[in-house]
């Protein structure tokens, strides 16, 4: 993994099938996964967050206090995309809890990117991504 991001998380390089490489913050502890991209008012075009779990399984993410629209990719243990949710809408401090966007899928990793990035990079279910991160021991 690379140096820590401005948000105090380790970073890693992630390569798409087309060869394009971006930097991702790596959230691999319960606390960093819980916080995720909350309270960030922007996300650079070639940047994202990779959530890392110890095992593959079904999971659900929600956009509470996430102030940017996102694409969410659920990725299996073999680093293949299983589900893509595009243009998941942001929330605001005033968004009632029942109205906060929720998305789910099966995977061991979840990649959050700026809205539109999945299409920009030609990502589809079944495509492999390339990254090297430590798996949490939890």
Tens of pLDDT, residue by residue, the chain (138 residues)? 444 444 589 999 999 998 999 999 999 999 999 999 999 989 999 999 999 999 999 999 999 999 999 999 999 999 999 999 999 999 988 999 999 999 999 999 999 999 999 999 999 999 999 999 887 766
pLDDT recorded at residue 136: 75
Strands 47-62, 21-27: pairing is parallel
Domain spanning 2-120: which superfamily? Protein of unknown function DUF192 (2.60.120.1140)
- E strands, the chain, in order: 2-4, 10-15, 21-27, 47-62, 70-75, 81-88, 102-114
Domain layout of the chain by residue ranges: 2-120
The answer to whether the Cα torsion of 115, 23, 111, 9 is positive or negative is: negative
Would the pTM of this model clear 0.85, i.e. be above it? yes
């Amino acid at each position: 993994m690379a140096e820590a991001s401005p948000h105090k998380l380790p970073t890693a390089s992630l390569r798409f099938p087309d060869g394009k490489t971006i930097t991702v913050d790596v959230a691999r502890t319960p606390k960093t996964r819980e916080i995720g991209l909350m309270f960030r008012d922007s996300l650079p075009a070639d940047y994202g967050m990779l959530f890392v779990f110890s095992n593959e399984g079904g999971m659900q993410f929600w956009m509470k206090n996430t102030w940017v629209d996102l694409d969410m990719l659920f990725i299996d243990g073999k680093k293949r995309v299983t589900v893509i949710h595009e243009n998941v809408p942001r929330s605001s401090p005033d968004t009632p809890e029942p109205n906060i966007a929720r998305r789910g899928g099966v995977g061991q990793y979840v990649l959050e990117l700026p809205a539109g990035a999945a299409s920009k990079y030609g990502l589809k279910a079944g495509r492999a991504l390339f990254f090297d991160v430590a798996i949490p021991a939890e």
